[in-house]
Chains A and B, each alone.
Chain A
Amino acid sequence: MKNLMEHMGLDPGRLHFSWISSAESTKFVDVAKKVTAEVKALESKEKKFVKTKPKVA
């Protein structure tokens, strides 16, 4: 999935997968922060990438 997304030109930083057990709240917070940081970095780099794929009425 991710590979094909990338192949089509969607930035890989926009799709994340992770594996967290219900006891690992610290890991959850870590990953949440990491994902957000990564997406924010993208945002500043190339705005509106996903907006090229708008929902049509």
Chain B
Amino acid sequence: MTTYSDKIKEISKRLLKEGKVDLVIGFRKGSVPLMNQPMFAKNEGDVDSFVWDSNCGINLANYVTDRSEKIGIVAKGCDSRNLVVHIIENKIKRDQLHIIGVPCKAMVDRHKIAAMMPGEIESIEENEADGTLTVTGSGFSETLNKAGVLQENCALCMHRNPVLYDELIAEEVTEQNPEEVDQYAAVREVENMAPEEKWAYFDSLFSECIRCYACRNACPLCYCPTCFVDESKPQWVGKSVDPADVRTFHFLRAYHCAGRCTDCGACVRSCPVGINVRALTKKLEKDCLENFDWKSGLTLDKRPPLDTFRPDDPEEFIK
């Protein structure tokens, strides 16, 4: 990954020097291991803190919303899809962006790794040659196989290469074969439950939720000036951790992402208590694919399904 980091630094320096962009958005090492932070580099000196490794799971498209500068942005597959969504939704102009495409080699799941370790993790080293990670903390050091601890959405990802970019930092990686990866196994499992079982499943899924709204803040789609949870006249949803309120929040947030979610996994990654928020968004993604033949963020030329009408839209649910 050092080659990736070096290349990102090199390109960012060049862009800033030539004055092509006002700032470059990328990642730097986080203050805690496994959590790289977004960083805005406004001059060449800042650029040296840029890194790229397997902990860059946050979606950088989140930070371009409504900005007026010329922006260079480091984008892996899902980030680039979310940039497309942003452009379609007029949240940023295409010519404001200089997209530095990163063929993504998948991110690791910090919750999974944390659960495997006996104590607090202090550092993580990546060995790209043999695909292993060495996790160390006070009194322990373990070597893991990276493939075993990928984020679930990365393991299922079909668009590791950016769909929209101005330059790539490396050769494209090979995409997974859609026939070999069962995208919706988890969704189907829930679909096959009886209503009571489903209710109970989501009750236990959300029982940990502390309503910190990290999932909302990390999500590139959640850019409403006032989120429905913050509205108070009328107040749609209570602010407590009452199961009904928590459920309403997650339901409506997920629904707002229908036909827009690219399954980048930023919500799950940012969750401090490790809730699999994707249980809802993945279902919507599946529905959009089945009902409207739609995958979000792949092209600039098509309007999203919930914003257009087609005579052949499914309407079995209407009496």
Report A's interface with B, CB cutoff 8 A. Answer: 1-11, 16-19, 31, 34, 46, 49, 52-56
Selected from B238, B244, B254, B317, the residue in CB contact (under 8 A) with A4 is B254
Asked whether B196 lies within 8 Å of A17 as measured between CB atoms, the reply is: no
Known: A4-B258, A4-B280, A46-B196. 12 other contacts (CB 8 A): A2-B317, A3-B283, A4-B255, A4-B287, A6-B198, A7-B190, A7-B191, A9-B197, A10-B195, A18-B318, A52-B244, A55-B238
Selected from A4, A9, A17, A46, the residue in CB contact (under 8 A) with B319 is A17
Q: Number of residue pairs across A and B with beta carbons under 8 Å?
A: 65
Interface residue B201 (Cβ < 8 Å from any Cβ of A): yes
Q: How far is the CA of A31 from the CA of B318 in the complex (A)?
A: 11
Q: How far is the CA of A48 from the CA of B146 in the complex (A)?
A: 47
Report B's interface with A, CB cutoff 8 A. Answer: 190-191, 193, 195-202, 238, 240, 242-245, 247-248, 251, 254-255, 258, 280, 283-284, 287, 317-319
Q: How far is the CA of A9 from the CA of B199 in the complex (A)?
A: 4
Beyond A9-B196, A56-B240, whether A4 also contacts B284 by CB under 8 A is yes
Give the residue name and chain of the B residue nearest to A31 (CB). Answer: B319
Q: Which 7 pairs show the lowest CB-CB distances between chains A and B?
A: A9-B198, A9-B199, A18-B319, A53-B244, A56-B242, A17-B318, A9-B195
Asked whether B190 lies within 8 Å of A52 as measured between CB atoms, the reply is: no
Beyond A9-B198, A17-B318, A19-B318, whether A53 also contacts B283 by CB under 8 A is no
Give the residue name and chain of the A residue nearest to B287 (CB). Answer: A3
Chain A residues within an 8 Å CB radius of B284? 3-4
User: Nearest Cβ in chain B — how far from A14, in angstroms?
Assistant: 10
User: Nearest Cβ in chain B — how far from A3, in angstroms?
Assistant: 5
Beyond A10-B195, A11-B195, whether A55 also contacts B244 by CB under 8 A is yes
Q: How far is the CA of A4 from the CA of B245 in the complex (A)?
A: 17
Q: How far is the CA of A52 from the CA of B196 in the complex (A)?
A: 11
Give the residue name and chain of the B residue nearest to A17 (CB). Answer: B318
Asked whether B199 lies within 8 Å of A8 as measured between CB atoms, the reply is: yes
Asked whether A56 lies within 8 Å of B244 as measured between CB atoms, the reply is: yes
Point out which of B195, B248, B255 has the most chain A C-beta atoms below 10 A from its C-beta.
Answer: B195
